[in-house]
Amino acid sequence: MLRVVGCRFVFLFTVSLAGCSIITPPPVTFDTQDWAEGGFAGRHLSTQHFDIYSTLRDENFESALPGFVEAAYGAYEKLLPAPTGRTERMVLYVFGLRTEWQAFTERRFPVRFPIYRRIRNGGYTEGNVSALFCRDHGSALATIAHEGWHQYVSSRFTQVLPAWLNEGLACGFESVDSSGVRPRFDPNQNTFRINSLREGIQQDNLMSLAEIVETDAGRMLAGKSLRNTDAYYAQVWALITFLRYGASGHYRADFDRLLEDIADNTFGKRLSADRLLSGESAATTLGETVFRIYFRATPNEMEAAYYDHMVRVAGY
């Protein structure tokens, strides 16, 4: 057991996760002190980029979080380098109980609470703030890595990303390979999303690609079927793997160019200029515009290849 109050230290250890392999976070320096707010009591762990507020009862797992979030941050930067000048810290609340998470959410985000309360396992992000509850270690790490991506995008970039791109990339960080010295995030090995994709195919419950690029997770979560929400996340994850690794690499260069434009802050300018020159309808969604500009095809034209990719990923 470890308990350090109001102190800075470097701590490296190995923690066994339920349903996961062994995670060995890289050593990081972080501050820790007791924290109490709104009836909650726990610890505040402060790293280079994150403020973590935790009510976890497992102190070993809790103390692994600083190394894990900083490793995730490094992976975000590698995928999408952030422009200089924006250094807003990311705030992460990790609750040991769902009841704590729900009470916090109702108090902090009352307008969005009716939607967020539908989350069965995981959490959400509002700007640079993420909040989640820890049902088990494995799902907690997956959620932290997913929501951490949203925090990174929100705190480092001014431009709005298409929902399918933002959520699809976030899902790519949910699968962690811990066999090496540092956690490695492997977007191709997301077992949970693969299983949801397989279920969607079996039940003929998948959305068309046109629907995927026009919607977002909030709209799905506000709907009546949480199963449809699972299918949506599985499909946006599959869409990213399709564009990055599928179709015999046909879209890889275009996808890389999209990320490069976002990283150097020319993405928004390019979309605005193209819309003016093309006379595109104001009703055209951001997702559709990105497809036309970067992949030179409509979602309908890519539908068959995308569906074939999902079938292969699902193991059929």
Write the DSSP symbol of residue 134.
-
3-state secondary structure of 67: helix
pLDDT at 62 over 90: yes
pLDDT in tens, 249-307: 999 999 999 999 999 988 988 888 877 776 665 556 778 888 989 999 889 999 999 99
Residue 215 is predicted with a pLDDT of 83
Residue range 20-33: mean pLDDT, rounded: 69
Residue range 116-122: mean pLDDT, rounded: 88
> Which residues, including other chains, have CB under 8 Å from residue 281's CB and lie 6 or more apart?
none
pLDDT in tens, 192-228: 999 999 999 999 989 999 999 988 766 665 665 556 8
Q: How far is CA 271 from the centre of its chain?
A: 24
pLDDT at 24 over 60: no
Write the DSSP string, 79-130. Answer: HSPPPTT--PPEEEEEESSHHHHHHHHHHH-TTTHHHHTT-SSSEEEETTEE
Could you identify the residue written with the tokens 């990719």?
Answer: 309
pLDDT in tens, 72-111: 999 999 999 988 778 899 999 999 999 999 999 999 999 9
Q: At CB < 8 A and 24+ separation, what contacts does 212-219 make?
A: 212/164, 212/236, 212/239, 212/287, 212/299, 213/162, 213/164, 213/285, 213/287, 213/288, 213/290, 213/291, 213/299, 214/285, 214/287, 214/288, 215/163, 216/163, 216/167, 217/163, 217/167, 218/115
Tell how strand 40-46 and strand 15-16 pair up: unpaired
What are the CA-CA distances from residue 316 to residues 41, 195, 209, 228, 256 (Å)? Answer: 48, 12, 19, 21, 28
Residue 43 is predicted with a pLDDT of 96
Residue 77 is predicted with a pLDDT of 95
pLDDT bucket at 308, cuts 50 / 70 / 90: very high
Residue 276 is predicted with a pLDDT of 72
pLDDT at 10 over 60: no
pLDDT bucket at 38, cuts 50 / 70 / 90: confident
Residue 90 is predicted with a pLDDT of 97
pLDDT in tens, 132-190: 998 899 899 999 999 999 999 999 998 889 999 999 999 999 998 766 667 889 999 89
Residue 25 is predicted with a pLDDT of 57
